[in-house]
Amino acid sequence: MSRQDIHNSQTPVLCRNCEVRHRGLCGVLEPEQLLELSRHTRVVRQGAGSELIADDTDVTSYANVMTGVVKLTKMLEDGRQQVVGLQFAPDFLGRLYGKQSRLSAEAASDVDLCRIPKSALEAIMAANPALEHRLHEQTLRELDEARDWMVTLGRKTAGEKVASFLFLIATHIDPVAQIQRELGERGDAEFDLPLSRADIADFLGLTIETVSRQITKLRKAGVIAVENNRKFIIPDLGRLEAHCG
């Protein structure tokens, strides 16, 4: 597998520094189509904790995640909030063809988003079946991942759940490192934990104490290293994966 050159003269200036373009919705577009799409898009940076989508609000735009982690949540009737998913580059943010959002989205870390108005993207999709097909593929992939995560929540032990969560973050949070691993250039990972212990516990259906205890076990076993309670170092992703059950 060879890495595609994304820094060429035919690529719109807005897109040349996008390391995930070939993996997301833009990967099926020809240069002139990409140029047309870029006329409607704008790249924005949102700080950690920023609300990106509010539940039950009108859908007016979509976005591609370029960097960072997005936390998807659902509010219960009694005011409690449940973390229902995470999104990374190059995931598609928004409910395609939907009139209203069905969940909330928050920047779990600093995120870069490539935003496009709903009307503009749907018009381009109508003229480009390959683009619509790519977005359907991404939607089905997210559905498959959600089903896999249901197995994690329903069948795995507490230790396997925490290891699976850390493996998910380690293999998705940095799109450049992800490409390098696929090329066989590295087998380690290093990242700042984008979720609090409380959010991790919520996501995994565990208590905060259990999450902390399982992280400590992994650290003592040498599977992970933790600096300043936030920076995680995974020297061998294969060892961490072996703890995922």
Q: Is the dihedral of CA 238, 239, 243, 245 positive or negative?
A: positive
Given this model, what pLDDT does residue 223 score?
A: 98
What's the average model confidence in pLDDT over 20-45? 85
Helix, strand or coil, per DSSP, at residue 86: strand
Does residue 9 have a pLDDT over 80? no
Please state, as a whole number, how many other Cβ atoms lie within 10 Å of the Cβ of residue 9: 6
Given this model, what pLDDT does residue 30 score?
A: 82
- The one-character DSSP state at 110 is -
* H or E stretch covering 138: helix 129-155
How far CA 64 is from CA of 23, 44, 91, 240, in Å, comes to: 11, 11, 6, 29
Q: Which residues contact 5 (CB under 8 A, 6 or more apart)?
A: none
Given this model, what pLDDT does residue 53 score?
A: 94
Chain center to CA of 139: 13
Q: Where are the beta strands (DSSP E) in the chain?
A: 42-46, 51-53, 61-67, 70-75, 81-87, 92-93, 104-107, 111-117, 189-192, 225-227, 231-234
Query: Which residue's structure tokens are 């520094």?
Result: 17
User: 10: pLDDT confidence band, cut at 50, 70 and 90?
Assistant: low
Given this model, what pLDDT does residue 97 score?
A: 86
Given this model, what pLDDT does residue 151 score?
A: 92
Beta-bridge partner residues of 93: 63
Write out pLDDT tens, residues 158-179. Answer: 999 999 999 999 999 998 888 8
Cα atoms in the 13 Å half-sphere on the side-chain side of 64: 24
More confident residue, 4 or 109: 109
More confident residue, 151 or 27: 151
Decide if 68 contacts 53 (C-beta within 8 A).
no
Decide if 73 contacts 86 (C-beta within 8 A).
no
What's the average model confidence in pLDDT over 29-53? 90
- The one-character DSSP state at 100 is B
Given this model, what pLDDT does residue 35 score?
A: 86
How far CA 136 is from CA of 5, 58, 59, 140, in Å, comes to: 25, 21, 18, 6
Does residue 3 have a pLDDT over 50? no
| 221's tokens | 């076993």
